[in-house]
């Protein structure tokens, strides 16, 4: 899901580059380093958002979770 969202976001960024160009100062609308930095930032945020629940889920013994029934 994260990769699909990033692909759609990059596509939307490229598609809207001409419209956004009047709002940017000092950077090109399709600057590769800016697009890469944004993509890496989104990937890192997604990794943290995924890692926190995974850490909680792996700290519980599966048999105890099944016995509790919640």
Give per-residue pLDDT as tens, 6-43: 999 999 988 988 888 888 788 888 888 888 999 999 99
CB 24 within 8 Å of CB 61: no
pLDDT at position 29 is 83
Q: Which residue range(s) make up the domain with 15? A: 2-68
Q: Which whole-number Å values give the CA distances from 57 to 36, 54, 64, in the listed order?
A: 32, 5, 12
The rounded distance, in Å, linking the Cα atoms of 7 and 54 is 24
pLDDT at position 70 is 58
**Residue 69 pLDDT exceeds 80:** no
pLDDT at position 22 is 82
């Amino acid at each position: 899901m994260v990769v699909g969202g990033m692909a759609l976001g990059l596509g939307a960024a490229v598609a809207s580059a001409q419209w956004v160009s009047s709002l940017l100062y000092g950077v090109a609308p399709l600057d590769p380093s800016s697009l890469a930095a944004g993509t890496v930032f989104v990937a890192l945020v997604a990794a943290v958002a995924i890692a926190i629940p995974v850490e909680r889920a792996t700290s519980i013994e599966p048999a105890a979770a099944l016995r509790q029934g919640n």
